Amino acid sequence: MEVEGHSRPLALFVGVALLLCAAPALLALTASAPAAAAPAVNLPTISSAGAGQAQGAPAPLALLAAEQAELTGPLTTHDAYFGYSVAVSGDTVLVGAYRTDSWEGSAYVFVRTGATWAQQQVLLPADATYWKQFGYSVALEDDTALIGANADDELGNDRGAVYVFQRTGGVWTQQQKLAAPDFATGDQFGTGVAFSGDTALVGAQVHKVGENSGQGAVYAFVRSNGVWTLQQEFSASDGGAADYFGTRVALDGDTALVGEQQQHSGADVIPSAAYVFVRSSGTWTQQAKVTASDGEVRDDYGAALAVSGDTAIIGAPVHDVAGVYDQGQAYVYTRSGTVWTERAKLTASDGAGWDDFGADIALQGDTAIIGALGDDVDAVDQGSAYVFVRSGSAWNQQNQLAASDGAWGDQFGTAVAIDGDTVLVGAYQHLVNTVRVGAAYAFAIGDPPVTAASVAPVPNARGWNKGPVTVTLSATDPDSAVAGTEYRLLGAAGWTTYAAPVPVSALGVSAYEYRSVDVDGDLEAPKSLTVRIDTTRPVTRALASATVARYHTATLRLRVNDTVAPKAKVTVRIYRNGVWKKTLPLGLRATNRDLRYSFTCKLPRGTYTWRVFATDLAGNQQRKVGYNRLVVK
């Protein structure tokens, strides 16, 4: 798994600190209610006077997961940018710190034993020099690490290079130094790196293509017998000067995703794009140009991106969401055949201005990690990262990650990575012993709890009860412990902590949603439950007498009134001198409206009485039978 470095440091925004609730609010849903007003359900509430929580409001579950470890290097250099780039593979993580030792740069390897992380080695280039920016970007897979040094000057100022390190017996050694054969001064080869199997991608965002200075290019390298060789150089088919193609790169198998800083149409700057390249028989070709449906100029679309299988997610961290400046947004695309289609727009549930949601993205199957380095969790620009999980075609926010010792200006979420159940988040401006060195945080994530709801007594086949019920919620977790369960009426603003089975007595249809969270902070997507209660009995009416000639069509006018049930099963029985003669099954019919029923009357001539019987959806039978006269001539 890989995470590359950023194209540029993002400035610290100074603003007014907002005191926010730790748990993100979920989107409210529309409540379902019967036409007639129903009594309120007696739901227990708890009182809370915590920060950001109104007295007496239902207290939300704590959604912030506790990190497994905070990783720091033995650094004393101010602005070392430790955590500006991160990568994880199994029980190994790689953290870049490209500003150590006069911007020479370094990278740190940590390994996990059990749940304990320890530094294994500090990686330095064999030709270490000032201003190399070694560690600007990193990628890691198993025992191989790729480390970008986009300001390497060996063959020209800021030409750039990528270093390959290999681990054998717990020791990392430099194996190779990768460079572009058509290098030029200022190319910044190594701005972005990605790694998948025996293929590596390297971005050179300032590389001149033809006459276009700063158009940018990407280089694909392949490994054979431990040696990396250039396979191909490629760039955007419609590239222009100063597009900076290759700012970010992502790779999964034979699919590459490449971002750019901006795009031009002639002399005009237009919303930027990302490009998909695929490899067939050793040749990379452009498959698609991907853009945002609501893209804006300079919203940094493509500043972060990730691809996994046929899914890609692209960040636009300074996109304005519904007029909120620089809140940020991420776009989900899926591939069918060779066509990529935008499927969803992801935003933070507690998104606000200058959050920079989408600053970095990691994607693994149906799980995405999205950094928001400007999120004011407890302090301005403290930063956070969001866990989104796909269920079917819908993406739901499952968790929000933040550092336990987060502080002003940390920019937690600058870099994110995921492999298996391990998430790594960089906070390159974090203070360590009063020095702004930076840190990286490891989190263990897993599957969220699974909550089941049961109603007693069990509703009938139509889903209705004839009296009050009790709702019981029970949660289990496949790989952790359940921390709590909560529920609310659908559409309500706050949640109520579940402590015991909940009695429900409201007449009509009451819709609820419920969810649980585990001790790791994994939040279950809300589930829904509908409770239908009707204790009232319908009243039937035969609205008018009827006269019909034998063997002709008779029409009966009737009505079933019910204060709760929208439908009832209706039957008409015809009597003569108190003796039943015929039954007319009308089936389910709407209540509280006039009904007509026609039939061919074959009854002998005479005078009859017809009566209306009804059973509502809950099984309540009519309280009063309506009747009238039928004359057959």
pLDDT on residue 263: 75
pLDDT on residue 17: 28
pLDDT on residue 75: 67
Checking if the pLDDT of 465 tops 70, the result is yes
Q: Which residue has the higher pLDDT, 512 or 7?
A: 512
Percent of the chain with pLDDT over 90: 76
DSSP one-letter string for 304-319: EEEEETTEEEEEETTP
Which DSSP state fits 78? T
Task: Give residue for tokens 């549930």.
Answer: 349
Checking if the pLDDT of 16 tops 50, the result is no
pLDDT on residue 587: 96
Q: Which of 84-98, 473-487, 558-572 has the lowest mean pLDDT?
A: 473-487
Dump pLDDT digits (tens) for 80-134.
999 999 999 999 999 999 999 888 999 999 999 988 999 999 999 999 888 899 9
pLDDT on residue 266: 66
Strand ranges, E, within 297-391: 304-308, 311-316, 329-336, 339-346, 357-364, 367-372, 384-391
Overall residue count recorded for the chain in this entry: 633
The two three-digit tokens of residue 253, written as one number: 């198998």
Q: What is the pTM of this model?
A: 0.70
Tell me phi and psi for residue 102, to 5 degrees.
55, 45
The neighbouring-strand residues paired with 455 are 471
Please give the torsion angle defined by the CA atoms of residues 64, 69, 74 and 75, in that order, rounded to the nearest 10 degrees. Answer: -10
Domains and CATH numbers, the chain: 2-6+78-444 (2.130.10.130), 450-533 (2.60.40.10), 539-632 (2.70.50.30)
**Count of beta carbons in the 10 Å neighbourhood of residue 123:** 22
Checking if the pLDDT of 404 tops 80, the result is yes
Could you give the CA distance from residue 230 to residue 222 in angstroms, rounded to a whole number? 6
Checking if the pLDDT of 59 tops 50, the result is no
Q: Which of 3-12, 25-34, 197-206, 209-218 has the lowest mean pLDDT?
A: 25-34
pLDDT on residue 58: 31
Q: Which of 60, 624, 118, 34 is nearest to 350 (CA)?
A: 60
Checking if the pLDDT of 174 tops 60, the result is yes
Checking if the pLDDT of 406 tops 90, the result is yes
The two three-digit tokens of residue 160, written as one number: 């750039």
